Amino acid sequence: MHTEEKKLQFDTPAIMGILNVTPDSFYTGGQAWDCEAILQKAENMLADGASILDIGGMSTRPGAVEISVQEEIDRVVPIVEQLQAAFPKALLSVDTYRSKVAESAIQAGAGMINDISGAQFDVDMLPLIAHCQLPYICMHVVGDAQTMHQHQIQGNIMEVVTQYFIKKIEELKAAGIHNVILDPGFGFGKTMAQNYAILNHLSSFLSLQKPLLVALSRKSMIYKPLGIDVAHALNGTTALHMVALQNGAKLLRVHDVKEAAECIQLYQNLQSE
């Protein structure tokens, strides 16, 4: 992956390393997040093969407490500033659905916005992205910030998500936003069967001609069927990453960069044969 005129080109699958600066994330790898620890984690991720660092200041796991916009800014912006200073060549993404957080992060040096709401939760997000012309990750989700995990999706999940993406791409294009990455939203208001149906048929989204991000690292669709907890879900994550790559994923959003990089390397070896 490389950037040119702020447009991402996924010549080979790339890795986005997750940097949660929240006290209640579903998985932090057992580390207490302070600034020094985050900088060290970022350095390790970049050395292990991450091209993008995704900074999140508010957990979106089921049952997470919603914090104020200012608190989210206070968590995210100092980290973006320090990461930008320490690693100026790294592409910094901010995981937020709030336009004011996104705007502050962009001013601090963020070069991508990862919006789980697909611009549904904040009407000012699209004008901001259109003005800045940054890469934008658009995730599939149903409901609002309070109900997105409770909403049950009826009907054929692939048809539902595909139609959502078609509508969103048109909406983004009309706003002048073309540099879009699609995320099917594993675990967001979807049943176990729906999550696996999306993964199994991921390649059907390739017809939309947008890069696909897969974010299933250590999620419950992995550890619940195995009867384990999130701390032991790395092996299952790697197994499903290979499936995602074979089905067209171009960006893996992960907690464990080294293992994801190894998976991509072996995937590429398979492709070369």
Q: Exactly one of 98, 218, 219, 250 is catalytic; name it.
A: 219
pLDDT greater than 80 at residue 4: no
User: Domain ranges in the chain?
Assistant: 13-272
| Residue 75 C-alpha from the chain's centroid | 18
Q: pLDDT tens digits, residue range 190-241?
A: 999 999 999 999 999 999 999 999 999 999 999 999 999 999 999 999 999 9
- Segment among 6-20, 85-99, 135-149, 162-176 with least mean pLDDT: 135-149
pLDDT greater than 60 at residue 64: yes
pLDDT greater than 90 at residue 31: no
253 is catalytic: yes
Distance, CA of 244 to CA of 214 (rounded, Å): 7
Whether the pTM exceeds 0.85: the reply is: yes
pLDDT greater than 70 at residue 19: yes
Query: What dotted CATH number matches 13-272?
Result: 3.20.20.20
What percent of the chain clears pLDDT 90, i.e. is strictly above it?
80
Mean pLDDT for 141-169 is 84
Q: Exactly one of 41, 75, 250, 253 is catalytic; name it.
A: 253
Q: pLDDT tens digits, residue range 106-116?
A: 999 999 999 99
Mean pLDDT for 8-27 is 82
Distance, CA of 54 to CA of 112 (rounded, Å): 9
List residues bridging with 212 in a β-sheet: 182
Q: Is the dihedral of CA 223, 227, 231, 235 positive or negative?
A: negative
219 is catalytic: yes
